[in-house]
Amino acid sequence: MSFLQHDVPLNWYLLLSAALFSLGVVGFLIKRNLITVFMSIELMLNAVNLSFVAFAYQWHAVKGQIFVFFVMMVAAAEAAVGLAIIIAVFRARATLAVDRINLMKL
């Protein structure tokens, strides 16, 4: 019932969230495929969701949980647009490699 309260302290959730967020940032920076880069961004958003839920539990405030629903909804809308843009890129260039999306350079 209340295993969250007794067994796993809040800090651990926050550390996990921070670790996932950092993984997302690292993935965004080093991955070389558009889809993987996009997945890294989704990982960042979901790491933030974990933080929101943990804080909502700490403060006994339902606001944090509501926030999570809105983040998920916005992430879905963003995914729709993002995947459409990725398809447009693939149609125009026939590649998803980040290094080859380089028509415009300094």
Partner 1 sequence: MNPVPDIYRILPEVILTLTGVAIMLVDASIPPAWPRRYLGFLAAIGTTIAIWASVWQLSLPEGTGFFGTVETSAFTVFFHVLICGIVLAALLLSLDALPTYSHHQGEFYALIVFGAVGMCLLTSAVELLLVFIALEISSISTYILAGYRKETGRGPEAAIKYFLLGSFATGFLLYGIALIFGATGTTQVYQAARLAPVAQNQPLVLAAMALMLVGILFKVSAAPFHVWTPDVYEGAPTPVVALMSTAPKAAAFALLLRVVYEIFPHLRSVWEPLLWIVAVLSMTVGNLAALRQQNVKRMLAYSAIAHAGYLLAAFAGIGSIGIAAAAFYTAAYAAMNVGVFAVIVLVAGYDEQLSLIGDFRGLIYRSPLLGSLLIFFLISLIGIPFTGGFFGKFYSFSAAVGGGAIALAIIGLLNSGLAAAYYLRLALVTAQRPAEDEPARPMPHVGPAAIAAVALAVLVTLVLGIVPGATLHAAQSAAHTLQVPPQPSEAPGIPLQSGQ
Among 3, 60, 76, 99, binds partner 1 (CB under 8 A): 60
Instruction: Rank residues 16 and 89 by Cβ distance to partner 1 and give the closer one.
Output: 89
Q: Is 81 in the site for partner 1 (CB under 8 A)?
A: yes
Residues 53, 60: contact at Cβ < 8 Å?
no
Instruction: Rank residues 16 and 48 by Cβ distance to partner 1 and give the closer one.
Output: 48
Q: Is 85 in the site for partner 1 (CB under 8 A)?
A: yes
Read off the tokens for 43. Answer: 């990982």
Q: Is 28 in the site for partner 1 (CB under 8 A)?
A: yes
**Dihedral, 77, 78, 80, 86 alpha carbons, nearest 10:** 170
User: Shortest Cβ distance from residue 102 to partner 1 (Å)?
Assistant: 8
- Please, which residues have CB within 8 angstroms of residue 39's CB and are 6 or more apart in sequence? 27
Among 8, 26, 30, 74, binds partner 1 (CB under 8 A): 74
Alpha helices (runs of H) in 1-106, residue ranges in sequence order = 3-6, 10-30, 34-59, 63-93
